[in-house]
Chains A and B, each alone.
Chain A
Amino acid sequence: MSDSAQTPHTDEVETEATDRQPDEPESESHVEPVETGADAVVAALKNADVDHLFGVQGGAIMPVYDALYSESDMTHVTMAHEQGAVHAADAYGIVTGDPGVCMATSGPGATNLVTGIADASMDSDPLIALTGQVPTDLVGNDAFQETDTIGVTQPITKYNRFASHADEVGDDVATAFALADEGRQGPTLVDLPKDVTQPETDVEPGRPETPDTYNPPEKADEDAVDEAADVISAAEKPVILAGGGVIKANASDELRAFAKEHEIPVLATMPGTGAFDQTHELSMGIAGMHGTGYANMAITLTDCMLAVGTRFDDRLTGDVETFAPDADIVHVDIDPAEVSKNVEADYPLLGDAKAVVDQLGNAMTDSPEADLWREQCQTWKDEYPLDYEMPEDRPLKPQYIVEQFDETMPDDTIVTAGVGQHQMWAWQYWTWTEPRTWVTSHGLGTMGYGFPAAIGAKLAAPDKEVIAFEGDGSFLMTSQELSVAVRENLDITIVILNNEAVGMVRQWQDGFYEGRRMASEYPWVPEFDKLAEAYGARGFRLEDYDEVDDVIEAALTYDGPAVVDAIIDPEENVYPMVPSGGDNSLFALSEADLDEI
């Protein structure tokens, strides 16, 4: 390590170029000069090539909305609730790879964003939130609709900033945008007091640029790469664990090439799902609490794990003492703080996943000799396939519904989900082949995420099909956004896997609380097909196996938002399951198994 004693404080480090080219045309359309702080905010967003904003109006943010009034390059999508706005923006960011933008007024507007900001923080989603604030001279006085938004969002943002001057507010937004986008992505927020956005200024904001003290690692140390490559080459039971960072870094191609060249089986974490093509023979599917049995066998018995862009969440590792106990762990991550946080990395490689996987590829001298291991992996796949039964006397099985939609829809369909059993069934039974197609709330587990996310996803990728799998409980939390989907005439399909329960809770009550179903059964939910019709969407009720094909066809054909209320077996559970904090190789395939573990 170099001795830095001589380095002056002002050490200028090459600032990272943003991915937008400086010689790109500013904008085809006529650029209005900045006249107010609010204009500067809007100009900063334009500089960043933003084209959609999601939000709800209100007193303190009105100057910014006013500046958007004559803006033709950007479309503002008014949502029914700020939570809808932040999830839509979050999904927009996931699908495009660039920060999604949401806005809200001060106080309740800002606090309504909090869940979605926390969600983005957990999943490293690129997001920027712009919140109105009471005028600076009222701050601290408990003014009407004053909340300390900076204080509240500090722990859940990558960066936040209280804008303090009209001349600087444009650059504040530009910086926040760049920080949301670069390095490990994440949510940022700029709090915009009315007396900063309202006053006059003619200061044009610069292009999005991170502060010069922000220097995420790009390439890993070459010696460390060589050492790691040797370890991988010498492995007998290698696996690749693809985390969400693979997708965030656009490293799927590199990872696929590496895995195929060296014939290394690949497992995906939940956020890493889609990084690898599940139809490829090297795919070992999905790992963790509700991952496949074969993935969890491989993850436990591997002798060398190349883990890329993952934070080893506890829902993945289970008990860390039994997590890959015999493996050398090569951990590639852009965030040094993730290395050895939960699981000690034997070979840490700091850098951007795309660059580092490429470096590793160049450094590999031999492929591991792992014929036996690949055979073993195949045996596990045959031994522990995902499976469910369809007894005639039971209502529809949710897994079947997911599979039928999967078969009917194109490979690049974007799938969003709420949180609960339905999310796990969607994850397990959909065939994932493309990155940026699985859009859900991973780390925070936010019920209500799926449907507004589908709105954001559709606007981000209008040419792709978008389907939201929702639970009855989850959908109740954000279903008012149907008004938006109808207004915008968004061609999305919402499938409610309706078990009249917060089923995941019910499953845990049956498994771990002796069946005491406290506050988990929802026999009072509305008829969702009728609810959809009330909003002006199409509603379908699906109850029998012989209706499945027709309803799927009708729902997908309908040009606009269609809600399928699928009445499923309320007793169906999600398996396999590794109980919380358990040993991944001891997965339950049924409730009876749970007792034995």
Chain B
Amino acid sequence: MRPEGRRNEDGIRIDPEAEAKHEPRRAVLSALVEHQPGVLAEVSGLFSRRQFNIESLTVGTIVNERRARMTIVIEETRPGIQQAKKQLRKLVPVVSVRELAQDSVQRELVIVKVNGEEPDKVHAITEMYGGETLDAGPRTITVEITGNEQQVDDAIDAYEQFGIREIVRTGYASLSRGEQQTAAVEHDTNVTADTEVPADDD
């Protein structure tokens, strides 16, 4: 069976019937890395020099002290996501890389400092999003919200009416659901990551 369609300017074969361009989409990558100095710089340097659009990057230790986990959210076309995964995997201190399914468990923590003129209303919103008030004074109220992308974005929208003075977001931390390992050390899979797309991806 011969592949159909011509290559576009990005070298990608395009189905003549379908759209001529791949649309960027959000992807969550999880990487297991060696816990050693310089890895964060190496990963962030890779994403910037190869012009991958990065939305957030978090890093933290795991049970195995020699390793750390990075969660990287990128906004890229499908071929861009594939390329980002492979480039990431290529770094020597990177042990494994997995693109998480859209239904993976994702959490971000955000701290918002709003004007304190309407404490009751602020409190109501905080309650609604299951957040917590960290600091309250006559002029400002500081709250913490934890949630997935949608929840955090919605909460921020809701606080906007009071006037947001300052905001800080941690970026996403994410694990896959159920028994499946988030970024298992399985070399064949990583080596052929080329064709691997999470199950629920269209």
Contact = CB atoms under 8 A, between A and B. Distances in A.
A59 interface: no
Contacts of B6: 321, 325
A162 interface: yes
A9 interface: yes
Contact of B185 (A9, A320, A340): A9
B10 A337 contact: no
A388 interface: no
A344 B179 contact: no
B92 A214 contact: yes
Interface stretch (A98-106, A147-155, A478-486): A147-155
Given A179-B92, A214-B92, A323 B194 contact: no
Given A7-B181, A217-B191, A337-B86, A343 B11 contact: yes
Contacts of B37: 162
A346 B13 contact: yes
A1 B11 contact: no
Interface in B37-90: 37-38, 41-42, 45, 49, 64, 67, 79, 82-83, 86-87, 89-90
Contacts, number: 115
Contact of A340 (B34, B87, B96, B194): B194
A292 to B, nearest CB: 23
Nearest to A342: B11
Interface in A261-314: 312
Given A154-B45, A335-B90, A1 B38 contact: no
A4 B184 contact: yes
Given A325-B7, A336-B86, A336-B193, A5 B41 contact: no
Interface in A1-45: 1-5, 7-11, 13
A330 to B, nearest CB: 11
A379 interface: no
A9 B38 contact: no
A325 B14 CA distance: 11
Contacts of A10: 185
Given A337-B86, A342-B11, A343-B7, A159 B92 contact: yes
B76 to A, nearest CB: 13
A213 interface: yes
Nearest to A164: B37
Given A4-B184, A325-B7, A344 B92 contact: no
A8 B184 CA distance: 8
A323 B185 contact: no
Given A321-B8, A335-B90, A341 B83 contact: yes
A387 B64 CA distance: 65
Given A159-B92, A321-B6, A336-B86, A151 B181 contact: no
B79 to A, nearest CB: 7
Nearest to B181: A5
A94 interface: no
A422 interface: no
Nearest to A218: B191
Interface residues of A, number: 46
B3 interface: yes
B19 interface: no
A462 interface: no
B2 to A, nearest CB: 6
A339 B83 CA distance: 9
Given A151-B41, A336-B89, A312 B189 contact: no
Contacts of B195: 348
A2 B10 contact: no
B45 A344 contact: no
B82 A5 contact: no
A155 B49 contact: yes
A10 B95 CA distance: 11
A481 to B, nearest CB: 31
Contacts of A337: 83, 86-87, 89-90
A312 B10 CA distance: 12
A214 B6 CA distance: 36
B191 A350 contact: yes
A215 interface: yes
B92 A5 contact: no
A379 B134 CA distance: 80
A151 B96 CA distance: 23
B12 interface: yes
Nearest to B37: A162
A343 B14 CA distance: 12
A340 B181 contact: no
B119 to A, nearest CB: 46
A343 B90 CA distance: 19
Nearest to A323: B7
A320 B82 CA distance: 19
Nearest to A346: B3
B188 interface: yes
Contacts of A211: 92
B7 A344 contact: yes
B11 A320 contact: yes
Nearest to B83: A341
Contact of B2 (A7, A221, A328, A340): A328
Interface in B11-32: 11-13, 32
Given A323-B7, A344-B12, A150 B184 contact: no
A215 B192 CA distance: 12
B184 A7 contact: yes
B123 interface: no
Nearest to B79: A340
Contacts of A154: 38, 41-42, 45
B132 interface: no
Most buried by A among B37, B94, B192: B192
Most buried by B among A221, A339, A346: A339
A207 interface: no
Interface string B173-201: 00000011100111111011111100000
A344 B184 contact: no
18 contacts: A4-B184, A4-B185, A4-B189, A7-B181, A7-B184, A8-B185, A9-B184, A154-B38, A155-B49, A213-B92, A215-B187, A320-B11, A336-B191, A341-B11, A342-B11, A343-B7, A348-B194, A350-B194
Given A154-B42, A155-B49, A320-B10, 9 more contacts: A1-B189, A4-B189, A11-B186, A320-B11, A321-B6, A337-B83, A339-B194, A346-B3, A346-B13
6 interchain residue pairs of minimum CB distance: A4-B186, A337-B86, A4-B184, A343-B11, A320-B11, A159-B92
Interface of A: 1-5, 7-11, 13, 150-151, 154-155, 158-159, 162, 179, 211, 213-217, 221, 312, 317, 319-321, 323, 325, 328, 335-337, 339-344, 346, 348, 350
